[in-house]
Amino acid sequence: MRALQALESDSPSVRLQAALAVGTSPDPGFVGKLVERCAVEPEFYVREMLTWALTRHAAARTLPLLLDEVRSECAQARSQALHTLSKTGDRQAWPAITPALLADADDEVARSAWRAAVVLVPEGEEPALAVVLATQLGRGEHETQLSLSRALIALGEEMLPAVGAATTDPDPRVRTHAIATGRLWRDPDAGFASAIEEAKRVAALGGAG
């Protein structure tokens, strides 16, 4: 119980050590507090340790609570629950990855949903997932766009038709992002920034890369 109380300490280092302790000695009674803390913990590295601690507990105990959090009105709760689901890799969670979450208005939630989706997607459903992910092309700034490109590329060749179709989208941001994603797929060592700049030139000339 001392570790659970320490999760609410004013000191980030104390909270980190508490999460480490809870994960080192898993106890089903800790799960609810870990999930609750994920929704409010301000420090990224502490949230990462909370996620690790949750993965040390049985999925039968963590999964129902994480699925509840995915539907929370709190963006951080949704984002962190999705992040944790991507780390557990339990495909029972797949039905919770809805189109609404993949298009969540909060960029951090959407990014977490994209990462979780490519980990949890059942075999054979990759093309349908790629179509949904492709609707988000052109969204956000550099980091958000890079996250989406990485998620699409993680689907492998199954993403090519959806991304290819987006290279002729009327919206130049969508076109550019799609072209850049295709270039990154063909040359994984190319930097995303340079792929975007080259894609902008191609899109401006009316090409599809």
Q: From the first residue on, what is the mean pLDDT of each consecutive set of 10 residues in the chain (209 residues)? A: 87 96 94 97 97 96 97 98 96 96 98 98 97 97 95 96 96 94 86 74 62
Distance CA 175, CA 208 (A): 8
Q: What is the pLDDT of residue 200?
A: 76
Three-point CA angle 154, 158, 164, nearest 5°: 100
Q: Which residue in 138, 201, 134 sits closest to 175, CA to CA? A: 138
Domains of the chain, each with CATH number or no CATH: 1-120 (1.25.10.10), 126-209 (no CATH)
pLDDT score, position 120: 97
pLDDT of residue 34: 97
pLDDT, position 206: 61
Q: How many CB atoms lie within 10 A of CB 13?
A: 11
- Distance, CA of 144 to CA of 84 (rounded, Å): 19
Closest Cα to residue 83, out of 100, 101, 58? 101
Spatial contact of 30 and 66, defined as CB atoms under 8 Å apart = no
- In sequence order, which residues have a C-beta less than 8 Å from that of residue 175 and are 6 or more positions away? 138, 166, 167, 168, 169, 199, 203, 208
